[in-house]
Structure 1
């Protein structure tokens, strides 16, 4: 597929989680013969530039993949601030790189597609600071587009010790979008999830 990067749209992959249920780092899990992180980066890189990986320098993901990776790592997130801290650190780096917004996704969405980004972009008009996927009656804040103008509000929440993404979405203008293919949002939290997804694929 010919790459069609969107002007001013960065990509952010959150890879700082501890992967307790999986028992090993999700970013380095094998998917299609490669680390899952690389597969996701290739998919979103069709629309996003640069693609940034947010993970503390102390994380397993950075230790295993960072030194040999060609991806740009953002390692200055505040430890213990969860996904919101990773978003804030990487969104700030995206702003410094000249991006107006960034597509944010978790590192456990191996089926994420550039088509998902297209659907979210179509809804990113007017007032929304954030556009997220909504499927099955559930928000997916780690599959969404965040404008850099949301940074001040999100930074303030991190400074206050806020960890809940639901509260972060309430603090900014958020628009929810039903997606045409729910498979894009399939995440793998445990070994059985990965096994089942491999069988389906």
Structure 2
């Protein structure tokens, strides 16, 4: 199956990055910003919307208001900018995760589900997912609020297919974890 052209991807690149100690999107691994590494792994035909309170040198960039409202608030801020029939949600601290998007799209086409979400067998990761756009809008509409709630709440009323990620979905929250990928600089 070829990758669907009508796909938007939301890259969550904001947050306080308290465990990292620096803005994750700006941290460099082997001289490349995590934001740029994440973008490089998104299929080129996808429309991308970045969510961050700081300038990334990328457009469109949006931010929830007020800033730092959590990933669901960021998704809600970005979704109006997404024109695709499918919407991916990726976190900047998991730069290889977008490599799963083609497999996720194939599974979304094969199964009668709202979303494909990467799972480690125990936990489903809503920040590594691909949705039918309308289903994501409905999931957001069902929430009492979008600020300061866990992203997994999006999955509560959605029909989801869980995909074993095989490690590509690995996120890096601390400098020590990120050093596994190479030399880091801030």
Inter-partner Cα distance in structure 1 for 2:80 and 2:112? 20
Q: Does 1:177 align with 2:163?
A: yes
> Which structure 1 residue ranges, 4+ long, deviate > 6 Å from structure 2?
none
**Displacement of 1:73:** 0.6
Partner of 1:53: 50
Quick check: 1:123 aligned with 2:107? yes
Following superposition, the deviation at residue 77 of structure 1 comes to 5.0
Please state how far the C-alpha of 1:22 moved relative to its aligned partner: 0.5
Q: Map 1:1-201 onto structure 2 (within 5 A).
A: 6-48=4-46, 50-55=47-52, 59=53, 62-63=54-55, 65=56, 69-76=57-64, 79-94=67-82, 98-114=83-99, 116-125=100-109, 126-150=111-135, 151-157=137-143, 159=145, 163-179=149-165, 181-182=166-167, 184-198=168-182
Taking the aligned partners of 2:121 and 2:154, their CA distance within structure 1 comes to 21
- Preserved CA contact (<8 Å) 1:47 1:117: no
Aligned residues: 180
Length-normalised TM-score, structure 2: 0.85
TM-score by length of 1: 0.79
Contact 1:128 1:173 in 2 (8 A): yes
Give unpaired runs (5+ residues) of structure 1: none
Distance 2:40 2:108 in 1: 23
Structure number with higher relative contact order (C-alpha < 8 Å, ≥ 6 residues apart): 2
Maintained 8 Å contact 1:129/1:172: yes
Kept in 1, the 8 Å contact 2:64–2:73? The answer is no
Hey, what's the Cα distance between the residues in 1 that align with 2:115 and 2:66? Answer: 22
Q: Against the structure 1 CA distance between its residues 11 and 32, is the aligned structure 2 distance closer, same or farther, given a 3 Å change threshold?
A: farther
Distance verdict in 2 for CA 1:178–1:194, change over 3 Å: same
CA RMSD of aligned residues (A): 2.3
